């Protein structure tokens, strides 16, 4: 008996030692691989922290990339999150193109960029991969057809009428006001009305409404979790106060969605002709979509997509509109050009019509430059499922590769004076690689909602400049910070003067 125990014990110990040696060799190999000419390490490697001791947040690693690009012209940077989790940061369009054109999946394993969203968004379009993603992307594409988007313009108008009235009150007497929070409520209002035709009086009630509060807190906590690696394992997260809060809100949102889906399914079954009488919302399209076999989406799939639209469609657009308003205030000559165009296109009308949207060419340039300067989604990530050659380096399987969108948009090798806000750069002839400018990503996993988002932004900004002259607040200069979306560390303050 003792002999058996000794043999088993020795075998187990040998396996452990063999595994540890294997791991050490693998890490040694990876450290060597990620420490060569074409792939600059973020800095000095610490045996425990890796490179984490070099920066407290994503902003600092973005700055490290800028410095390394300037000093070494590198196109890739390697970062070790402690001693066991290497990341490759891609900083050049030609390298980004290879990753974005591939069908490599999103990194949703533990610690991966999309992991914190899983228990809320499930396997919705943003996170799913492979055959499921292909089928659902095909089924959902008609939801973004121009005929479906057209009636939403009136929803944007009505949402931003409320927004402007609130703003007019808040800024009366020349007061400075923080707008990022209110823009976020307006874009969530839009998404709820367009996805499930739910008017939750979001802007009137704000976070007092439980659904609004839940969606906002879920977005916030998912982003916070990424920055707190000790909350990565589910069991630790769900024991923590923010984990318990996440779970409570996710349950509320899921129960709410399921009720809305059940009721809509029943109402469509009872009265299918209703679809011919009113405009379609996303939920109608999700419930009536059928694949080649005639199979539709299950209730759970519909729920995942609704939650994905609400998350992906409101925070991103809020960031984009928020920074655009800031840029209008900061660059008065650009504001004037936009205003003159809006005045010409709308004449005396307040509401923006579908046909006006194509006429806003100057406003389009302005929005483009804003999304370059303050990229709403600063980075996205993939994980390799096969070896991938980038800049002559063979990146092994199972490596997280992050496309640094904000860095691409400010890379001096690509952009002339990138820190200058100049809308005309998009009107000039240029041989720039299309992958230099990817606010909506590019390739097969590009943003399905980009036309929706651009239309909403145009309505919001046109209505704003038509009614007000937007002025900066010199005592509150906004400081961008890269989270899942680009926010401002200290809010976005502006003043308004009625025209």
Answer for which of 74, 222, 317, 488 binds ligand HEM (CB under 6 A) is 317
Residue 341 touches ligand HEM, criterion: CB under 6 A: no
Residues 281-310 that bind ligand HEM (CB under 6 A): 308-309
Answer for which of 78, 219, 320, 411 binds ligand HEM (CB under 6 A) is 320
Residues 101-140 that bind ligand HEM (CB under 6 A): 106, 125-126, 137
Name the helix (H) or strand (E) containing 429: none
CA angle (170, 174, 180) in 5-degree steps: 45
Q: If you compute the radius of gyration of the chain from its CA atoms, what whole number of angstroms results?
A: 25
Residue 483 touches ligand HEM, criterion: CB under 6 A: no
- 468 alpha-carbon distance from chain centroid: 29
User: How many helices, marked H, and strands, marked E, lie in the chain?
Assistant: 20, 12
How many Cα atoms are found within 13 Å in the side-chain-facing hemisphere of 297?
Answer: 29
Q: First and final CA of the chain: distance in angstroms?
A: 93
Select 439 or 480, whichever has its Cβ closest to ligand HEM: 439
Q: Which residue is nearest to ligand HEM (CB)?
A: 449
Q: Is 65 annotated to bind ligand?
A: no
Among the residue ranges 269-277, 315-323, 461-469, 489-497, the one whose residues contact ligand HEM (CB under 6 A): 315-323
Select 382 or 463, whichever has its Cβ closest to ligand HEM: 382
Select 184 or 313, whichever has its Cβ closest to ligand HEM: 313
If phi over 0 gives left and psi between -120 and 50 gives alpha, with beta otherwise, what is residue 10? alpha
Answer for which of 41, 105, 378, 439 binds ligand HEM (CB under 6 A) is 439
- 454 alpha-carbon distance from chain centroid: 14
400: helix, strand or coil: strand
Name residues whose C-beta falls within 8 Å of residue 431's C-beta, 6 or more positions apart in sequence: none
CB 368 within 8 A of CB 426: yes
Residue 449 touches ligand HEM, criterion: CB under 6 A: yes
Among the residue ranges 23-31, 152-160, 312-320, 387-395, the one whose residues contact ligand HEM (CB under 6 A): 312-320
Residue 442 touches ligand HEM, criterion: CB under 6 A: no
Residue 401 touches ligand HEM, criterion: CB under 6 A: no
The minimum distance between CB 430 and ligand HEM, in angstroms, equals 21
The minimum distance between CB 425 and ligand HEM, in angstroms, equals 19
Select 331 or 437, whichever has its Cβ closest to ligand HEM: 437
The minimum distance between CB 179 and ligand HEM, in angstroms, equals 16
Select 52 or 492, whichever has its Cβ closest to ligand HEM: 492
185: helix, strand or coil: helix
Answer for which of 297, 447, 460, 484 binds ligand HEM (CB under 6 A) is 447
Counting residues that bind ligand HEM (by CB under 6 A) gives 23
Nearest residue to 125 via CA among 116, 117, 113, 133: 133
Q: Supply φ then ψ for residue 256, to 5 degrees.
A: -60, -50
Answer for which of 452, 462, 468, 471 binds ligand HEM (CB under 6 A) is 452
Answer for which of 50, 93, 313, 472 binds ligand HEM (CB under 6 A) is 313
Answer for which of 52, 148, 329, 453 binds ligand HEM (CB under 6 A) is 453
Residue 364 touches ligand HEM, criterion: CB under 6 A: no
Select 441 or 476, whichever has its Cβ closest to ligand HEM: 441
Select 89 or 126, whichever has its Cβ closest to ligand HEM: 126
Q: Beta strand pairing status for 76-81 and 40-41?
A: parallel
Select 112 or 439, whichever has its Cβ closest to ligand HEM: 439
Say how far apart CA 472 and CA 475 lie, in whole Å. 9
Query: Quick one: angle between helices 180-196 and 241-270, nearest 10?
Result: 30
Say how far apart CA 192 and CA 454 lie, in whole Å. 17
DSSP state of 51: T
DSSP state of 444: T
Select 261 or 460, whichever has its Cβ closest to ligand HEM: 460
If phi over 0 gives left and psi between -120 and 50 gives alpha, with beta otherwise, what is residue 194? alpha
Name residues whose C-beta falls within 8 Å of residue 241's C-beta, 6 or more positions apart in sequence: none
Residues 145-164 that bind ligand HEM (CB under 6 A): none
DSSP state of 1: -
Residue 376 touches ligand HEM, criterion: CB under 6 A: yes
How many Cα atoms are found within 13 Å in the side-chain-facing hemisphere of 414?
Answer: 20
Residue 409 touches ligand HEM, criterion: CB under 6 A: no
Residue 448 touches ligand HEM, criterion: CB under 6 A: yes
Residues lying near ligand HEM in the complex (CB under 6 A) are found at 106, 125-126, 137, 308-309, 312-313, 316-317, 320, 376-377, 380, 439-441, 445, 447-449, 452-453
Binding residues: 447
Binding residues for heme: 447
């Amino acid at each position: 008996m003792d002999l058996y125990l000794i043999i088993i014990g020795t075998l187990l110990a040998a396996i452990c030692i063999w595994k540890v040696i294997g791991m050490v060799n693998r890490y040694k190999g990876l450290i060597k691989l990620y420490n060569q000419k074409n792939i600059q390490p973020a800095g000095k490697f610490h045996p425990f922290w890796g490179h984490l001791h070099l920066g407290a947040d994503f902003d600092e690693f973005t700055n490290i990339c800028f410095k390394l690009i300037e000093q070494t012209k590198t196109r890739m940077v390697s970062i070790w999150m402690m001693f066991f989790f290497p990341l490759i940061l891609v900083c050049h369009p030609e390298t980004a193109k290879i990753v974005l054109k591939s069908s490599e999946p999103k990194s949703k394993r533990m610690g991966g960029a999309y992991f914190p969203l899983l228990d809320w968004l499930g396997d919705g379009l943003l996170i799913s991969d492979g055959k499921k993603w292909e089928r659902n992307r095909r089924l959902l594409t008609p939801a973004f057809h121009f005929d479906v988007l057209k009636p939403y313009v009136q929803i944007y108008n009505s949402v931003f009428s409320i927004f402007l009235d609130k703003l007019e009150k808040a800024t009366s007497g020349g007061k400075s006001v923080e707008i990022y929070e209110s823009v976020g409520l307006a874009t969530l209002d839009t998404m709820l009305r367009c996805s499930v035709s739910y008017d939750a009086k979001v802007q009137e009630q704000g976070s007092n409404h439980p659904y609004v509060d839940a969606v906002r807190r879920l977005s916030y906590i998912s982003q916070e979790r990424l920055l707190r690696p000790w909350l990565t394992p589910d069991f630790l997260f769900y024991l923590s106060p923010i984990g318990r809060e996440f779970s409570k809100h996710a349950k509320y949102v899921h129960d709410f969605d399921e009720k809305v889906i059940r009721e809509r399914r029943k109402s469509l079954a009872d009265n299918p002709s209703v679809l011919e009488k009113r405009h379609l919302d996303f939920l109608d399209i999700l419930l009536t979509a059928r694949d080649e076999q005639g199979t539709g989406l299950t209730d759970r799939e519909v729920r995942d997509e609704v939650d994905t639209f609400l998350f992906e469609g409101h925070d991103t657009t809020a960031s984009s509109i928020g920074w655009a308003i800031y840029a209008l205030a900061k660059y008065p000559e650009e504001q004037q050009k936009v205003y003159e165009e809006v005045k010409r296109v709308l004449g005396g009308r307040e509401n923006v019509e579908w046909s006006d949207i194509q006429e806003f060419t100057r406003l389009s340039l302005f929005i483009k430059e804003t999304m370059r300067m303050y990229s709403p989604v600063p980075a996205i990530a993939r994980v390799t499922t096969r070896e991938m050659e980038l800049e002559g380096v063979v990146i092994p399987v199972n490596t997280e590769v992050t496309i640094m969108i904000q860095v691409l948009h400010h890379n001096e090798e690509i952009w002339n004076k990138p820190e200058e806000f100049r809308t005309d750069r998009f009107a000039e002839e240029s041989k720039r690689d299309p992958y230099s400018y990817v606010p909506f990503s590019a390739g097969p996993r590009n943003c399905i909602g980009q036309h929706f988002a651009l239309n909403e932004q145009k309505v919001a900004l046109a209505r704003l400049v038509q009614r007000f002259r937007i002025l900066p607040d010199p005592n509150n200069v906004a400081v961008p910070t890269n989270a899942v979306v680009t926010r401002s560390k200290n809010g976005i303050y502006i003043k308004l003067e009625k025209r």
